[in-house]
């Protein structure tokens, strides 16, 4: 089929605007999948996710991720200082769209901060930043609500239903990223805990062998001696075992 070339009255098509939503989702998924494979740090990865949201949602002037977990509330990957400040005010005042999106597990849109009455203290504090509209989509992975991906705008009425869909699809990918990062972190902590447990077990076993040889007692009695000394001295069993082994090493020298 013949297509007329772009001319003065026929502007060049904007590939980003002309993409059907399904294609946009595929593009976003591919980009975030790349992050999962290539980015090493949480802040860098979430910074790229935020930049992706900023590029994807028309009219957005700032974006970022709020993470809400056992460590508290914090921002990561903010595209600029205004986003960081607007987020910090939510945490300080304990109100705002990101916290509401996280708690309710639903998208929250603020069309105009001057007329929206849901979070009056936060809205009043944010207006001097030059921000008039906001939108937050929850990061949901399984049964867990991990936080929210948000965008801000300088003009009221910037965001519409199409913008909601774009942010929602980006937040779904961000949730996968945050969940994977948290899973890796928990796995790392578990791995370190297991290594410590193995080291402690080996140390206790060695100390038991030392006491068995020194006092001619069976294994259970040697272990009882370690436990008893740990209770008397108020130190961890691993420290008592280490002291027994080091003492035996010094004697051999």
Q: What is the DSSP string of 109-166?
A: EES-TTT--SSHHHHHHHGGGT--EEEEEEEEETTEEEEEEEEEESSTT---HHHHHH
Lowest mean pLDDT, pick from 37-46, 51-60, 117-126, 193-202:
37-46
Query: Tokens at residue 143, please?
Result: 């049964």
Kindly report the CATH number that applies to the domain delimited by 189-252. Answer: 1.10.10.10
Cα(148)–Cα(96) distance, integer angstroms: 11
Residue 188 has pLDDT above 70, yes or no: no
Lowest mean pLDDT, pick from 7-16, 104-113, 241-250:
7-16
Instruction: Please count the residues of the chain.
Output: 253
Cα(3)–Cα(20) distance, integer angstroms: 19
Lowest mean pLDDT, pick from 15-24, 85-94, 179-188, 197-206:
15-24
DSSP lists the bridge partners of residue 151 as 63, 135
* Mean per-residue pLDDT, 76-101: 96
Model confidence pLDDT, tens digit, residues 153-164: 999 999 999 999
CATH 1.10.10.10 boundaries in the chain: 189-252
Cα(251)–Cα(248) distance, integer angstroms: 5
Cα(152)–Cα(249) distance, integer angstroms: 65
* 44, 168 contact by CB (below 8 A): no
Place of tokens 């300088």: 154
CA-based nearest residue to 78, from 109, 111, 49, 55: 49
CATH 3.30.450.40 boundaries in the chain: 17-186
Residue 12 has pLDDT above 60, yes or no: no
Q: How confident is the model at residue 32 (pLDDT cuts 50, 70, 90)?
A: low
| DSSP labels, 161-202 | HHHHHHHHHHHHHHHHHHHHHHHHHHHHHHHHHHHHHHHHHH
Give the percent of the chain with pLDDT over 90: 40
pLDDT of residue 182: 63
DSSP H or E run through 18: helix 15-18
| Summary mean pLDDT of the chain | 81
* 90, 66 contact by CB (below 8 A): yes
Lowest mean pLDDT, pick from 64-68, 90-94, 183-187, 245-249:
183-187
Strands of the sheet containing 72-76, edge to edge, are 72-76, 62-69, 144-153, 133-141, 108-110
Q: How confident is the model at residue 98 (pLDDT cuts 50, 70, 90)?
A: very high
Give the CATH fold of the 17-186 domain.
Beta-Lactamase (3.30.450)
* 150, 137 contact by CB (below 8 A): yes
Burial class (CB in 10 A: 0-12, 13-18, 19+), 250: exposed
Model confidence pLDDT, tens digit, residues 47-68: 888 998 999 899 999 999 999 9
């Amino acid at each position: 089929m013949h297509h007329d070339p772009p001319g003065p009255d026929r502007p060049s098509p904007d590939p980003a605007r002309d993409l059907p939503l399904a294609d946009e989702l595929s593009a976003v998924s591919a980009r975030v999948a790349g992050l999962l494979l290539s980015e090493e740090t949480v802040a860098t990865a979430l910074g790229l996710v935020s930049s992706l949201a900023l590029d994807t949602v028309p009219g957005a002037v700032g974006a970022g991720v709020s993470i809400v977990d056992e460590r508290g509330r914090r921002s990561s990957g903010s595209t600029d200082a205004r986003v960081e400040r607007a987020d910090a005010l939510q945490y300080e005042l304990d109100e705002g769209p990101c916290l509401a999106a996280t708690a309710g597990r639903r998208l929250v849109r603020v069309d105009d901060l001057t007329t929206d009455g849901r979070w009056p203290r936060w809205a009043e504090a944010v207006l001097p930043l030059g921000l008039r509209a906001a939108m937050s989509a929850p990061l949901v992975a399984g049964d867990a609500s991990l936080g929210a991906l948000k965008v801000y705008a300088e003009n009221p009425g910037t965001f519409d239903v199409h913008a909601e869909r774009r942010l929602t699809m980006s937040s779904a990918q961000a949730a996968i990223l945050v969940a994977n990062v948290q899973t890796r972190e928990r796995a790392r902590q578990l791995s370190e805990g297991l290594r410590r447990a193995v080291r402690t077990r080996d140390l206790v076993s060695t100390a038991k062998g030392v006491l068995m040889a020194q006092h001619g007692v069976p294994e259970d009695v040697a272990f009882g001696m370690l436990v008893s000394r740990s209770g008397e001295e108020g130190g961890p069993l691993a420290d008592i075992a280490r002291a027994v082994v080091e003492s035996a090493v010094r004697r051999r020298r």
